[in-house]
Structures are given as C-alpha cells and as structure tokens.
C-alpha cells in the first residue's frame, strides 16, 4: 500500500445543492453538478487516480480480443484500499454530502470506487442497471460519475433513460449484447426520454440511481475517456439475499460476506459524513 501522501486539496467542505436539482434527480433518476471540483482540485486528483489506475490495471488484451464488456472500458476498482491519495477523494465529505442530499438521507456508506477508462476505439457500454449487481435491500443507492478530463459525446458520454428508475429492477441481465437488445426494446416501448450531456468538464459530476437505465456510446476520439466513479448507499441499508451469481460475488467482494438481513456496514463500507 502506498503511504506517501501528496499535498492534495482538502474536499471536506459542504456545497449546497438547489432543491430544484434534488427534485430533478428524484424525477429523472440522474442529474449533473457542474464544477463540483475546481480546475486545481481535479488536476491534482486526476494525477493520483490515473497513476493508481494504471498501476493496478490488469487488462493486457487488445481491444479486438475482448468481449463486449471488456471492450467497453478498462475497469479498476476499490483504489481507495490500495492508495492513500485516492482514499482522500473517495472518503471526501463534499462528495458524500451531495450524494446524501440527492438521496434524501442523513449519511451514506461507500460501496466501492471505480476508474472507468474508455480507450480510443473502445466499444459502447450496453444499456444496463447497476443495481442488478448489488445485494442491498434499499433503492437509496447512487453513483457519482466524474470525468477527470474534459469530455464530449464522441468520447462515450453517459446516457440515460430518464424516469426509468421508477420501474425498479427490470430484467435479470448482466451488461452484455443481450442486455443492450432487451433494454433497447424496453426503453422504446416505455417512451423514456433519452438524456445525454453534450459536454462535461473535468470536475463536473453526473449522479444516477442504482435502477436508472443507462449506457454509453463508443469512444470515437483519439483521447482516453478517463472517468472516476464512487458508489454510495444509504446508512442502515441491510444485506439482501443474492439473486444471481454476480450478487453472490459482490457480497463476497464488497460486503465481506455478511449475512443477509444484517446491516451493510463492513470494514469496506465506511460511513463518510
């Protein structure tokens, strides 16, 4: 584990989210907070996250040799457990308070973080719901998706079926070609508005609920789409009995195999506020 800390900006102050934006999040299942990290702050954290992500990345195959999921992005998870510098942003109170305010709860816990780097030429991320993978008994879950570099639609912008979270869990599909096909039909049949930002600045943050149906197109640019995500859930959530093999894996990996019905409060899921 890295022990040396750079002099990174502190991110433990609170910012106020307008009530209108909280209502938008509740209605649509997603929203964007612009400039959540300043240019100086995001530059500092971009450096440490990128360094850590590349250090712990284990994907060595060429893009053409991977399956649909593998082509979508390089995915390096729980960097905060291995890097004290990354830990500062994952456990930052500023970000956690926004998550709590959008969810309408007093406190949140960490599920895990992810570096999602979509390479130039990287494939699309199929339609899916994140919470398909999570064995927790609450819908008070939220993912922060923050670009570490300025991005536009050609780089693989996060795309939502607005309002789809109200339907709860829809299909028993992992991220795959099959999920893309079935969710695409479902989104069309239900006339969900498709919402996608044209651009996002480094330090902006997109937020979405665990049941929001979303995808991302391929990266048609010559630049790596570097994104960092943190997944939070409401304090007092309990472990749910796994419904599929992926939830069984998540129970072991992110919740330390706690018994169903007990609080989701393992060492890997600290309170943040």
Q: Which pLDDT score, from 0 to 100, does residue 10 have? A: 96
Could you list the beta-strand ranges (E) of the chain: 30-33, 74-77, 108-118, 125-128, 141-147, 151-152, 159-162, 193-196, 199-200, 205-209, 214-216, 225-234
Helices (H), 146-193: 177-189
- Give the Cα separation of 209 and 144 in Å (integer): 9
- Give the Cα separation of 170 and 148 in Å (integer): 31
Is residue 60 exposed (0-12), middle (13-18) or buried (19+ Cβ within 10 Å)? exposed
Q: Which pLDDT score, from 0 to 100, does residue 67 have? A: 54
Q: Which pLDDT score, from 0 to 100, does residue 1 have? A: 41
Q: Which pLDDT score, from 0 to 100, does residue 5 have? A: 47
Q: Is the whole-model pTM more than 0.85?
A: yes
> How does DSSP classify residue 115?
E
- Give the Cα separation of 164 and 239 in Å (integer): 24
Q: Which pLDDT score, from 0 to 100, does residue 74 have? A: 62
pLDDT tens digits for the chain (273 residues)? Answer: 443 445 899 999 999 999 999 999 999 999 999 999 999 999 999 999 999 988 876 545 465 554 554 444 467 899 999 999 999 999 999 999 999 999 999 999 999 999 998 888 888 888 999 999 999 999 999 999 999 999 999 999 999 999 999 999 998 878 778 888 899 999 999 999 999 999 999 999 999 999 999 999 999 999 999 999 999 999 999 999 999 999 999 999 999 999 999 999 999 999 999
Is residue 84 exposed (0-12), middle (13-18) or buried (19+ Cβ within 10 Å)? middle
Asked whether 142 and 207 are in contact (CB, 8 A), the reply is: yes
- What domains appear along the chain, each with residue ranges and CATH number? 30-254 (2.60.120.620)
């Amino acid at each position: 584990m890295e022990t040396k800390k750079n002099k990174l900006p502190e991110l433990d102050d609170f910012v106020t989210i307008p009530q209108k934006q909280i209502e938008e999040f509740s209605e649509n299942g997603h929203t964007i907070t612009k400039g959540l990290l300043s240019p100086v702050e995001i530059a500092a954290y971009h450096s440490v996250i990128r360094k850590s992500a590349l250090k712990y990345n284990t994907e060595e195959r060429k893009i053409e040799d991977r399956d649909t999921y593998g082509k979508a992005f390089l995915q390096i998870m729980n960097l905060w457990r291995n890097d004290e510098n990354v830990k500062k942003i994952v456990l930052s109170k500023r970000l956690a308070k926004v998550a709590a305010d959008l969810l309408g709860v007093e406190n949140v816990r960490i599920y895990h973080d992810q570096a999602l780097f979509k390479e130039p030429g990287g494939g699309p991320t199929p339609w899916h719901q994140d919470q398909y993978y999570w064995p927790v008994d609450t819908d008070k879950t939220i993912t922060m998706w923050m670009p570490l570099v300025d991005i536009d639609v050609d780089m693989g912008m996060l795309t939502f079926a607005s309002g789809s979270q109200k339907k709860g869990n829809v299909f028993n599909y992992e991220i795959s070609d099959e999920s893309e096909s079935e969710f695409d039909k479902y989104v069309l049949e239900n006339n969900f508005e498709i919402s996608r930002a044209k651009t996002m600045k480094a330090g902006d943050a997109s937020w979405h609920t665990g049941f929001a149906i979303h995808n991302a197109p391929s990266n048609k640019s010559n630049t790596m789409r570097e994104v960092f995500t943190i997944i939070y859930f409401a304090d007092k959530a309990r472990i749910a009995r796994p419904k599929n093999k992926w939830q069984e894996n998540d129970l072991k990996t992110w919740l330390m195999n706690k018994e169903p019905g007990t609080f989701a409060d393992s060492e890997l899921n600290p309170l943040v506020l």
